[in-house]
Amino acid sequence: MSGFDMDWLGLREPVDVAARDQGLIAALAGYLESQPAPYLVDLGCGTGSTLRSLQPALPADTKWLLLDHDPILLEEAMKRSAAVMHVNVGEYDLNDIATLPLDDVSVVTASALFDLCSEAFCAALVARIADAGCGLYAALNYDGAIEWSQAHLLDVDVVSAFNRHQRTDKGLGMALGPDATACLERLLRARGYRVDIRPSPWRMDSSMAALQTAFLNGFRQPLLDASKLEPEEIQGWLSYRLEAIPAPESLCKVGHLDLLALPA
């Protein structure tokens, strides 16, 4: 299983919705309006957050196929998409990219996925979509920048260790982590795509305490694995950050990038 549980995906969905670049969504909608039968395939769909975020802006007859390897997340995606016409879900392991069903697909979509993927995976996917003539909407790719309004002496060490850990294997080869968007851009431009990239940062304030707590707790193991910090230093940093969440002025910004690539 992926290790992405429903609670975490549910916590992040509102901040993802707020972060997505609306200009790219409008450009995607415009492109789909020009297609006779708009059809999207969403990779690593989780519970269907991409569909819920995009569909209100897209042509009503847009068809969707949601793919993930986690049957529990797919069951939830199916339940929550029941009201939307033209949605199918399928259990699919993205390691099997050669068999990705791309017939008649207008655009492949994915959110919060490509930072988990390797360069080889991205190269294979871009080759497949270019051969099939599809576009790519790749949103919410972590870009390596995390900033807190209240600084701590260890922030730089912590973020660089976290980013080292982001570049380890997450099940799809050695992950690109913060380099994912630049890698996709290079591969897509080489195949003649028009590529547009916009920032889509999370901005978490004190009203998002549950999300901030889960986000910070997600640092513990990566820091133990990938930093030179002593366990007591890690615990000290975490305690400081967790205690700072309720402060009205405290803000945490996490950098992401959205990418839209359309056939030229």
Ligand X SMILES: C[S@@+](CC[C@H](N)C(=O)[O-])C[C@H]1O[C@@H](n2cnc3c(N)ncnc32)[C@H](O)[C@@H]1O
Q: Looking at beta carbons only, is 138 or 245 nearer to ligand X? A: 138
Residue located via tokens 């290079």:
186
Tokens of 213: 């707590």
Q: How far is the CB of 232 from ligand X (least distance, A)?
A: 31
Kind of pairing, strands 194-199 and 252-262? antiparallel
Q: Are 82 and 60 in contact (CB under 8 A)?
A: no
Q: Looking at beta carbons only, is 44 or 135 nearer to ligand X? A: 44
DSSP alpha helix (H) spans, 34-179: 49-54, 71-80, 119-132, 155-166
Q: How far is the CB of 123 from ligand X (least distance, A)?
A: 16
What letter does residue 169 receive in the DSSP assignment?
B
Tokens of 7: 């609670």
Q: Looking at beta carbons only, is 9 or 89 nearer to ligand X? A: 9
| Distance (Å, whole) CA 174 – CA 192 | 26
Q: What is the CA radius of gyration of the chain?
A: 19
Q: Are 259 and 181 in contact (CB under 8 A)?
A: yes
What residues make contact with ligand X under the rule CB under 6 A? 2, 4, 9, 44-46, 49-50, 68-70, 73, 92-95, 111-113, 116, 171-172
Q: Are 165 and 228 in contact (CB under 8 A)?
A: no
Q: Looking at beta carbons only, is 222 or 263 nearer to ligand X? A: 222
| Distance (Å, whole) CA 223 – CA 225 | 5
Q: How far is the CB of 52 from ligand X (least distance, A)?
A: 9
Closest CA to 26 of 60, 56, 2: 56
Beta bridge partners of 110: 43, 138
Q: How far is the CB of 121 from ligand X (least distance, A)?
A: 9
Q: Looking at beta carbons only, is 111 or 181 nearer to ligand X? A: 111
Give the helix/strand (H/E) hosting 262. strand 252-262
Q: How far is the CB of 1 from ligand X (least distance, A)?
A: 7
Q: Looking at beta carbons only, is 1 or 247 nearer to ligand X? A: 1
Q: Looking at beta carbons only, is 200 or 227 nearer to ligand X? A: 200
Q: How far is the CB of 170 from ligand X (least distance, A)?
A: 7
Q: How far is the CB of 117 from ligand X (least distance, A)?
A: 8
